[in-house]
């Protein structure tokens, strides 16, 4: 953990702390206070986007643990989100269960599904593992549609009533924002802490060299499965929140392209830190909005047909180009840029 | 830090700033003297070829209402259309943006039934009225949502009855269902429909589904041919209908398709010879009824606003119907209760008692009741050359609501 010159730890608690300097404490507290006031400062549509970003952050945090820490890959993250969303929906809508019972159930169900689809990771790696996890993206929606469609609604939307927490009905964007914020911050804290734990070190050892890790006594199969489990638990949490936020779920919400974009957010943000997850989610979701607003301004500069095509094709092209640029020029993502930025101003006015 | 990296960082920060700033800039200015409606439509997403023309339809109709009918007792109606590109979170975001507008919208039109279903309870909580594409989930349990046509399954029953009534052979009519594997496609495969088909002596010999992007459906068609289907039946649009008919042609299978909702100009023009003799259902008159005064009025605006061939669609006409129904109801509420009583409660009361209202004196027949928030009448059409010719007058559909909501 790098710190400014002259900052020393004087006891073990300080040495183990995640937030280590006064400035960091000030930034965290200031950030949380600002986030707490956000619903009173911004409009409904932006708050809605903030909720989507927070849900996305939770899902991408799972990928950070799986891909960033363990070096495994999953192209089925939204399928695991679908499990979380449907389990939440079924528990709240059909069985009228308490939110606090439904939420862990949704997370656990997704985690167990992640375990199943993580089994091939013992035998295969890289591209082949990606293909194996891709299967989840096809199998899970198929199961949702075809097994007990009387419960899931099949291809129809499963409408989820707004759950309540201690009499507080989660039927406004503001209430959802606070819930998502708390869970996203808690999820980030857990991911950050996990990185420094025995489990996290085993994950990193597997990522860096699985054979070397195994020769040092790290149970590869166990830890790979654990990584898939934790990743899917995050997906389940994100899916459950998505379900109650949308107040309805359909398999059409959980597409392969969304799974790929979750992975894209991790790459663009940076795989080496949970902070990168936040950067990636904000940047890509923000870019989506930006492209949508720029499209109509650009359209008139082309003929009618070309203009419509430009407007239609702009989002995928922009995302593709952004992803490409990051892979070429900054493969460590926005987080690395942020680190350089901080270091530059830490030394300012000296150049090094 | 290198100069290039600094520039990259600054550009990134600038982009993030724009992201936060732009949505605020885009919010509409306040117009307190107007009545607002908001349409959240799929104009660039997967259903855009089908529901996209709803936007010009609504735009032209409100233009007609504001210019020729003087709005609602002199108050202009401001109809705002937003494109959610088939992305549900974006649709929700647009809805949230809409409810913070000043003046607050009275009517919201989600252009897809999954969005209508997801917004159903929310719209009720926000005390708005929803006029939506008609699936069971978008309408039931009843909230504040009204369907712009009968339930898909009700139109399906109407078509099957027609086919049965016109079946000449001395054996039961055999129908093979082949439809999209989506909520919309599967909306016709319900217990109520299967029971009804059986009760009138129609044999459903098989049910096949295929993905919305699949172009080759010959395997599914082969299975239905083995079961000796006399008619095919589906509930899909554009590329789906083309996939089925191309598959039939490839197999050399001469069979007609009854596409409940909907085969229309956009689909037929893709390959006219494929669709000859096929049947479909929709709740409005046809563009090809050129002598009809309501179609003449619509066509006049269609031409005047330089609409193109891609806008010639059932949804363009449904856009007119939607706007005219909303206008009629708003006017009636002001007539009965004055501006003081111009509220959601009275509008819903008026809408749920609307009986045989004929927009433009006959574009369609709209009836709702407090029990059924979907339209009661639809018409059967046959494809001939590139035209969609009426086979029947507006017929009452059977009540095929899910049992638990009757």
pLDDT tens sequence across A240-290: 999 999 888 888 889 898 999 999 999 999 998 999 999 999 999 888 888
Q: How confident is the model at residue B2 (pLDDT cuts 50, 70, 90)?
A: low
- State residue B241 phi and psi, 5-degree precision: -65, -40
Residue from the list B19, B88, B92 with its beta carbon closest to the beta carbon of A289: B19
Contact A290 B19 (CB under 8 A): yes
Residue B360 has a pLDDT of 96
E strand spans, A95-236 = 158-159, 164-165, 168-169
Predicted local confidence at residue B21, as pLDDT: 46
Q: Chain B closest CA to A225's CA: distance in Å?
A: 31
The residues facing B257 across adjacent strands are B232
Q: Mind giving me the DSSP string for B112-160?
A: SHHHHHHHHHHHHHTT-EEEE---HHHHTTTSSEEESS--HHHHHHHHH
- Each residue's pLDDT tens digit, A145-203: 888 888 888 888 888 888 888 888 888 889 999 999 999 999 999 999 999 899 999 99
Longest dimension (CA), chain A: 69
In chain B, the residue whose alpha carbon lies closest to the alpha carbon of A246 is B118
- Work out the minimum CA distance from A323 to partner chain B, whole angstroms: 14
Chain B interface disruption, residue of A40, A141, A157, most B CBs within 10 A: A157
Interchain proximity A330–B185, CB inside 8 Å: no
CB pairs under 8 A between A and B: 123
Q: What is the mean pLDDT of chain A?
A: 88
Residues A19, A244 contacting (CB under 8 angstroms)? no
Q: Does A33 touch chain B (CB under 8 A)?
A: no
Beta bridge partners of B231: B175, B256
Confidence class of residue B20 from pLDDT cuts 50, 70 and 90?
very low
Taking 60 as the threshold, does the pLDDT of residue B19 lie above it?
no
CATH 3.40.50.300 fits domain B33-150+283-374: no
- In this predicted structure, what is the pLDDT of residue B230? 97
- A163: which DSSP letter? P
Q: Residue B8 has what pLDDT?
A: 56
- Cα angle B73, B76, B286 (rounded to 5 degrees) comes to 90
The pLDDT tens digits for A293-352 are: 787 777 778 776 677 667 666 777 888 888 889 889 888 999 999 988 888 887 777 766
Is the pLDDT score of B23 beyond 60? no
What's residue B28's pLDDT? 36
Cite the beta strand spans of B164-201 per DSSP E: 173-180
User: Any idea where the domains of chain B sit in the sequence?
Assistant: 33-150+283-374, 152-281+397-405
Contacts of A252 in chain B (CB under 8 A): 88, 114, 182-183
Q: Reply yes or no on whether the pLDDT at B10 is more than 90.
A: no
Task: Assess whether pLDDT exceeds 70 at residue B15.
Answer: no
Average pLDDT over residues B111-129: 89
pLDDT-derived band at B258, boundaries 50, 70, 90: very high
CA distances from B138 to A156, B132, B165, B391 (A): 10, 7, 31, 29
Beta bridge partner(s), residue A86? none
Question: Cβ separation of A286 and B15 shorter than 8 Å?
Answer: yes
Does the reported pTM lie above 0.90? no
Comparing B33-150+283-374 with B152-281+397-405, is the CATH topology the same? yes
Predicted local confidence at residue B24, as pLDDT: 37
**What's the confidence (pLDDT) of residue A345?**
81
The predicted-structure confidence for B378-401, as pLDDT tens digits, reads as follows 999 999 999 999 999 999 999 998
* Preferred mutation among B114, B125, B132, B152 to probe A, highest tally of A CBs within 10 A: B114
pLDDT of residue B372: 94
CB contact under 8 A, B122 and A293: no
Taking CB atoms and an 8 Å limit, are A157 and B114 in contact across chains?
yes
**Over 50: is that where the pLDDT of B266 sits?**
yes
A70-84, B38-52, B254-268: segment of lowest average pLDDT: B38-52
pLDDT for residue A308:
67
Range B150-155 average pLDDT: 95
Those residues with Cβ within 8 angstroms of residue B237's Cβ, 6 or more apart along the chain or in another chain: B47, B49, B50, B261, B262, B263, B267
Write down the CATH number for the domain with range B152-281+397-405: 3.40.50.2300
User: Per the CB < 8 Å rule, is A45 touching B135?
Assistant: no
d(CA A20, CA A2): 10
Count CB-CB contacts under 10 A for residue A94: 12
Residue B29's pLDDT is 36
Question: What percentage of chain A has pLDDT greater than the value 70?
Answer: 96
* Percent of chain B whose predicted confidence (pLDDT) is above 90: 67
pLDDT in tens, B274-315: 999 999 999 999 999 999 999 999 999 999 999 988 899 999
> What ranges make up the beta strands (E) of B9-76?
35-41
Which of residues A13 and A58 earns the better pLDDT score?
Answer: A58
In DSSP terms, B281 is beta-bridged to B380
Helix ranges (DSSP H) in chain A? 12-16, 22-41, 44-63, 77-89, 99-118, 126-146, 149-152, 173-195, 198-208, 210-215, 220-246, 256-269, 274-298, 304-329, 333-347
State the pLDDT confidence band at A207, using cuts at 50, 70 and 90.
Answer: very high
Average pLDDT over residues A213-230: 94
pLDDT of residue B22: 44
Distance from C-alpha of B117 to C-alpha of B131, rounded to nearest angstrom: 11
B114 or B234, which is more confident = B234
Question: Residue written as tokens 């550009």?
Answer: B11
CB B37 within 8 A of CB B108: yes
The pLDDT of residue A4 is 66
For the question of an ipTM over 0.90, the answer is no
Q: Is the pLDDT of residue B316 over 60?
A: yes
How many angstroms away from the CA of B338 is the closest CA of chain A? 31
Instruction: Please name the residues between 265 and 284 in chain A that touch chain B, using a CB distance below 8 Å.
Output: 282-283
Give the CB-side neighbour count of residue A159, counting CA atoms within 13 A: 20
Please say whether the beta carbons of B241 and B263 come within 8 A.
yes
The per-residue pLDDT of chain B, averaged, comes to 89
Identify whether A209 is preceded by a cis peptide bond (ω within 30 of 0): no
C-alpha angle with apex A120: A116 to A121, nearest 5 degrees? 105
Task: Please tell me if residue A80 touches chain B, with a CB cutoff of 8 Å.
Answer: no
pLDDT of residue A292: 76
């Amino acid at each position: 953990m790098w710190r400014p010159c002259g900052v020393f730890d004087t006891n073990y608690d300080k040495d183990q702390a995640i937030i280590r300097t006064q400035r960091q404490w000030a930034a965290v507290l200031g950030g949380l206070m600002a986030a707490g006031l956000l619903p009173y400062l911004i409009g409904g549509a932006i708050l809605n986007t903030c909720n989507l970003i927070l849900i996305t952050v939770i899902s991408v945090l799972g990928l950070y643990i799986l891909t960033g820490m363990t070096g495994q890959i999953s192209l089925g993250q939204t399928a695991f989100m679908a499990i979380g969303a449907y389990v939440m929906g079924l528990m709240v809508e059909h069985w009228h269960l308490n939110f606090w019972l439904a939420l862990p159930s949704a997370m656990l169900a997704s985690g167990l599904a992640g375990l199943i689809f993580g089994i091939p990771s013992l035998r295969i790696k890289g591209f082949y593992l990606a293909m194996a996890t891709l299967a989840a993206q096809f199998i899970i929606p198929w199961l949702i549609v075809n097994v007990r469609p009387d419960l899931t609604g099949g291809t129809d939307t499963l409408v989820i009533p707004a759950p309540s927490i201690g009499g507080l009905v989660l039927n406004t964007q503001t209430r959802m924002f606070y819930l998502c914020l708390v869970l996203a911050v808690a999820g980030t804290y857990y991911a950050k802490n996990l990185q420094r734990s025995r489990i996290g070190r085993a994950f990193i050892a597997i990522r860096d060299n699985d054979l070397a890790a195994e020769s040092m006594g790290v149970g590869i199969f166990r830890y790979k499965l654990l990584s898939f489990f934790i990743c899917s638990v995050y997906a389940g949490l994100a899916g459950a929140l998505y379900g109650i936020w949308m107040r309805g779920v359909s398999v059409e919400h959980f597409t392969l392209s969304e799974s790929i974009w979750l992975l894209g957010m991790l790459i663009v943000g940076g795989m080496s830190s949970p902070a990168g997850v936040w950067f990636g989610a904000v940047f890509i979701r923000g870019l989506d909005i930006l492209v949508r607003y720029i499209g109509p301004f650009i359209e008139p500069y082309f003929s009618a047909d070309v203009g419509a095509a430009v407007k239609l094709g702009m989002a995928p092209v922009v995302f593709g180009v952004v992803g490409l640029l990051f892979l070429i020029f900054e493969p460590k993502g926005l987080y690395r840029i942020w680190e350089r930025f901080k270091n530059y101003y830490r030394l300012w006015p000296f150049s090094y | 830090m290198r100069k290039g990296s600094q520039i990259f960082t600054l550009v990134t920060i600038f982009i993030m700033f724009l992201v936060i700033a732009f949505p605020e800039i885009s919010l509409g200015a306040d117009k307190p003297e107007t009545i607002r409606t908001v349409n959240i439509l799929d104009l660039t997403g997967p259903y855009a070829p089908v529901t996209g023309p709803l936007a010009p339809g609504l735009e032209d109709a409100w233009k007609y209402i504001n210019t020729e009918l003087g709005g609602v007792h002199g108050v202009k109606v401001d109809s705002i259309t937003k494109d959610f590109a088939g992305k549900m979170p974006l649709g929700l975001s647009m809805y949230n943006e809409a409810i913070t507008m000043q003046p607050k919208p009275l009517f919201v039109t989600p252009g897809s039934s999954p969005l209508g279903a997801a917004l159903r309870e929310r719209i009720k909580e926000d005390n708005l009225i929803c006029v939506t594409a008609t699936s069971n989930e978008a309408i039931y349990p009843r909230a504040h949502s009204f369907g712009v046509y009968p339930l898909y399954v009700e139109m399906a029953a109407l078509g099957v009855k027609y086919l049965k009534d016109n079946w000449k052979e001395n054996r039961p009519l055999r129908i093979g269902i082949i439809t999209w594997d989506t909520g919309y496609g599967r909306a016709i495969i319900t217990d109520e429909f299967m029971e009804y088909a059986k009760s009138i002596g129609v044999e459903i010999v098989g049910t096949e589904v295929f993905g919305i992007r699949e172009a080759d459906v010959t395997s599914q068609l082969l299975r239905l041919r083995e079961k000796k289907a006399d008619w095919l039946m589906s509930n899909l649009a554009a590329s789906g209908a083309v996939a089925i008919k191309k598959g039939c042609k490839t197999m050399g299978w001469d069979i007609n398709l009854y596409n409940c909702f909907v085969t229309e100009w956009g689909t037929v023009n893709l390959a006219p010879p494929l669709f000859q003799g096929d049947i479909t259902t929709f709740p409005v008159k046809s563009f090809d009824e050129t002598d009809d005064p309501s179609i003449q009025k619509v066509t006049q605006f269609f031409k005047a606003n330089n609409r193109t061939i891609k806008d010639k669609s059932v949804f363009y006409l449904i856009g007119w119907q939607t706007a005219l129904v909303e206008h009629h109801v708003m006017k009636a509420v002001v007539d009965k209760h004055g501006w003081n009583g111009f509220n959601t409660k009275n509008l819903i009361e008026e809408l749920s008692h609307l009986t045989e209202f004929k927009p433009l004196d006959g574009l369609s027949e709209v009836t709702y009741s407090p029990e059924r928030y979907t339209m009661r009448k639809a018409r059967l059409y046959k494809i001939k050359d590139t035209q969609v010719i009426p086979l029947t007058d507006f017929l009452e559909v059977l009540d095929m609501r899910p049992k638990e909501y009757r």
